[in-house]
Amino acid sequence: MSVPTLLVLAADPPPRLGRLTGRAQVVTVDERSLADRLPYADVLLVWDFTSDAVREAWPGEGPRPRWVHTPSAGVDRLLCPELVASDTVLTNARGVFEEPIAEYVAGLVLAMAKDLPGTLELQRQRRWRHREGMRLAGSRATVVGAGPIGRAVAGTLTALGVTTAVVGRTARPGVHGAEDLDPLLARADWVVCAAPLTDATRGMFDARRFGLMQPSARFVNVGRGPLVVEEDLVAALSKRWIAGAALDVFSDEPLAPGSELWDVPGLIVSPHMSGDTVGWRDRLGEQFVELYERWLAGKPLLNVVDKERGYVPMHD
């Protein structure tokens, strides 16, 4: 067998690929040359996982990579009908982002419970103003998204004493089905969105759903921006339908300096960083190398995406 061609969509070379020397013919491409190179690649590593180029460049018929890996949890930027219909295997970075995101969500939730944004603003103004926080233990969270990220978020909130319900597409042990979503939103102090972006979930957090929530509820999105109808969230906050929100993801990233989202009262804006902790690129590189070695050895790949559903199914 000749050395496979590993096409890497990346501006800067990923770490750890040196370990594949002699076992992969690494070709680094940018978005513009991707379409020309794709038919000659055995494997595609979408290192620049925020790019939409793969969906646009994917060949309809004819030669194409047998395996595509994205070092991200979501695969929404990659999926096009031709890729879904093909026999190309798609894998993701399951295992890398779950626990960091769970910590990030816990940090946001505690910051809102204890009004840390208010504290920092008062500090800027050199004003001593005592306020009362709320207890996190005993409050209720509804986590939307029953994949590994949603479950990790639920685990961390549960460890902090929060009564947490997880909602997925279909009911199974420990997971509520979509039919329970609305009543669970209506009684939550915290609504955390960690769902995959699919045709079924796009825009799911809209005026109707924000209207179901309690006036004291806070909403956190660490999934994908288009899960939320952003103007409906802004309206819900300004009308006090809900008490606060934190967005780490947006329909357009990076968020433009002129976006109205930057200064909505009660809204925390962060730059899509919830899963990214020191060393994350190394871990993603290591994970790809391990998968590549499995693939080369003819072993079944891990983290295989169900392309019809748009995520890696859970088997437990």
Binding test (CB under 8 A) with its own copies, winner from 84, 178, 235, 273: 273
Residue placing its CB nearer to its own copies in the complex, 251 or 277: 277
Active-site residue flag, 272: yes
Q: Is 257 in the site for its own copies (CB under 8 A)?
A: yes
Residue placing its CB nearer to its own copies in the complex, 27 or 110: 110
Q: Is 12 in the site for its own copies (CB under 8 A)?
A: no
Site residues (CB under 8 A) for its own copies, limited to 66-125? 99-100, 103-104, 106-108, 110-111, 113-114, 116-117, 119-120, 122-124
User: CB neighbours of 225 closer than 8 A, spacing ≥ 6?
Assistant: 247, 249, 250, 251, 252, 253
Number of Cβ atoms within 10 Å of the Cβ of 125: 8
Task: Give the span between the Cα atoms of 154 and 101, in whole angstroms.
Answer: 11
Task: Give the span between the Cα atoms of 264 and 17, in whole angstroms.
Answer: 43
Q: Is 276 in the site for its own copies (CB under 8 A)?
A: yes
Binding test (CB under 8 A) with its own copies, winner from 35, 80, 89, 160: 160
Q: Is 128 in the site for its own copies (CB under 8 A)?
A: yes
Backbone angles phi, psi at 180, to 5 degrees: -90, -5
The residue from 23, 55, 202, 272 that is catalytic is 272
Residue placing its CB nearer to its own copies in the complex, 56 or 253: 253
Task: Give the span between the Cα atoms of 249 and 271, in whole angstroms.
Answer: 7
Q: In what order do the strands lie in the sheet with 89-91?
A: 25-29, 5-9, 43-45, 67-69, 89-91
Residue placing its CB nearer to its own copies in the complex, 27 or 134: 134
Q: Is 251 in the site for its own copies (CB under 8 A)?
A: no
Residue placing its CB nearer to its own copies in the complex, 169 or 224: 224
How many Cα atoms within 13 Å fall on the side-chain side of residue 114?
Answer: 11
Q: Is 15 in the site for its own copies (CB under 8 A)?
A: no
Q: Is 278 in the site for its own copies (CB under 8 A)?
A: yes
Sequence-ordered alpha helix ranges (H) in 174-274 = 181-186, 207-212, 230-238
Residue 241: which of 224, 258, 225, 219 has the closest Cα? 219
DSSP per position, 51-72: --HHHHH--SSS---SEEE-SS
Binding test (CB under 8 A) with its own copies, winner from 40, 135, 174, 290: 135
Number of Cβ atoms within 10 Å of the Cβ of 208: 11
Binding test (CB under 8 A) with its own copies, winner from 16, 19, 272, 294: 272
Catalytic residues: 224, 253, 272
Q: What is the binding site for its own copies (CB under 8 A)? A: 99-100, 103-104, 106-108, 110-111, 113-114, 116-117, 119-120, 122-124, 126-137, 156, 159-160, 253-255, 257-259, 262-263, 268-273, 276-278, 280
